[in-house]
């Protein structure tokens, strides 16, 4: 599986400019003919304007669906369209990610489960209530958003459903770059999966995002690592190694779930 991660810089509270820029970057990424293109978290408005969020948010992801369904079909590529601030028909705003296959069909939609309370995300967004598993080209995959990566029980839930590739989309701050690098590598090692994490760069108010988008292999090797500027990172994942690692150190067989109380 060849993945191209778009380490995007976005403008806070400027969805028109951000949509245009995201489309431009997806078209650039498609030139490498990847199997999957990914975008970061809440790229439509940044993370996150505290004034006017409901008006700035996409409405039931309609614009995302229209835009990225067409792009996926045009280029014949799977697109994990990051996440967007998304106002649903219930009137609440969610942090929502959409996944499109090569035909442009929406095959998965995920609302961020764990909202980052230190920044007040939980007061502006409604949390999701389910994990996210799907298949890309027949390969079992799963998806989480940013703060979710600190909750290994969510990742393990997705792994127990058969996932071999964990996607993470984020707006992670430079102040906690060490945590970002360490947590993503740890999730890949403990889950014995490939992990593709796409972060943003630039600033949202006073917060600077760190980039460091990366792909980690099941034994923890870093296959590619981004810097601190906007860029597109492309690498290949040899998925045959997932079963090799899981056979050699079979943590899934050796689990004792009746002992765990989570």
Catalytic residue among 141, 146, 209, 210: 146
In-domain check, residue 88: yes
pLDDT at 205: 79
Q: How far is CA 5 from the centre of its chain?
A: 10
pLDDT at 125: 98
Catalytic residue among 98, 112, 132, 210: 112
Going by pLDDT thresholds of 50, 70 and 90, the confidence category of residue 257 is very high
In-domain check, residue 29: yes
Q: How far is CA 46 from the centre of its chain?
A: 14
In-domain check, residue 181: yes
Average pLDDT of 145-164? 98
In-domain check, residue 258: no
In-domain check, residue 121: yes
Concerning whether 243 is annotated as a catalytic residue, the answer is: no
3-state secondary structure of 61: coil
Beta strand 207-210 with 2-7 is unpaired
Concerning whether 174 is annotated as a catalytic residue, the answer is: no
Going by pLDDT thresholds of 50, 70 and 90, the confidence category of residue 262 is confident
Q: Where are the beta strands (DSSP E) in 11-123?
A: 36-38, 58-59, 78-87, 93-100, 106-111
Mean of per-residue pLDDT scores for the chain: 97
Q: What is the DSSP letter of 242?
A: H
Concerning whether 33 is annotated as a catalytic residue, the answer is: no
Please report, for residues 10, 141, 145, the alpha-carbon distance to residue 61 in angstroms, rounded to integers and kept in the order given: 18, 21, 16
Name the percent of the chain in helix, strand, coil, to the closest 5. 35, 30, 35
Q: Can you name the residues that pair with 133 across neighbouring β-strands? A: 142
In-domain check, residue 172: yes
Catalytic residue among 41, 141, 158, 193: 41
Looking at the structure of the chain, the number of domains it has is: 1
**Cα–Cα dist 103/110, whole Å:** 19
CATH no. for residue 168? 3.60.110.10
In-domain check, residue 256: no
For 35-76, write each residue's pLDDT tens digit.
999 999 999 999 999 999 999 999 999 999 999 999 999 999
| Of 2, 23, 9, residue with least CA distance to 69 | 23
**Cα–Cα dist 6/213, whole Å:** 8
In-domain check, residue 8: yes
Within 8 A by CB and 6+ apart from 151, the residues are 113, 114
- The answer to whether 166 touches 193, Cβ cutoff 8 Å, is yes
For 87-144, write each residue's pLDDT tens digit.
999 999 999 999 999 999 999 999 999 999 999 999 999 999 999 999 999 999 999 9
Range of the domain at 149: 2-250
């Amino acid at each position: 599986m060849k993945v191209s991660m778009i380490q995007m810089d976005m403008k806070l509270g400027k969805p028109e400019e951000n949509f245009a820029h995201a489309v431009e970057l997806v078209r650039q990424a498609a030139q490498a003919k990847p199997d999957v293109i990914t975008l970061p978290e809440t790229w439509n408005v940044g993370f996150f304007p505290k004034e006017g969020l409901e008006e700035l948010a996409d409405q039931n992801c309609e614009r995302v669906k229209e835009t990225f369904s067409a792009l996926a079909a045009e280029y014949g590529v799977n697109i994990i369209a990051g996440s967007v601030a998304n106002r649903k028909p219930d009137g609440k705003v969610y942090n929502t990610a959409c996944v499109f296959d090569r035909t442009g069909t929406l095959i998965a939609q995920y609302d961020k489960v764990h909202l980052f309370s230190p920044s007040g995300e939980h007061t502006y967004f409604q949390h999701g209530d389910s994990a996210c598993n799907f298949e890309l080209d027949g390969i079992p995959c799963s998806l989480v958003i940013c703060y979710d990566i600190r909750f290994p029980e969510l990742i393990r839930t997705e792994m127990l459903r058969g996932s071999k590739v964990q996607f993470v989309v984020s707006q992670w701050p430079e102040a906690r770059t060490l945590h970002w690098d360490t947590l993503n590598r740890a999730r890949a090692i403990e889950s014995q999966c490939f992990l593709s994490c796409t972060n943003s760069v630039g600033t949202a108010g006073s917060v600077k995002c760190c980039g460091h988008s990366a792909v980690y292999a099941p034994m923890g090797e870093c296959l590619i690592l981004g810097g601190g500027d906007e860029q597109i990172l492309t690498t290949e994942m040899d998925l045959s190694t997932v079963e090799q690692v899981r056979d050699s150190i079979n943590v899934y067989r050796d689990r004792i779930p009746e002992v765990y109380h989570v």
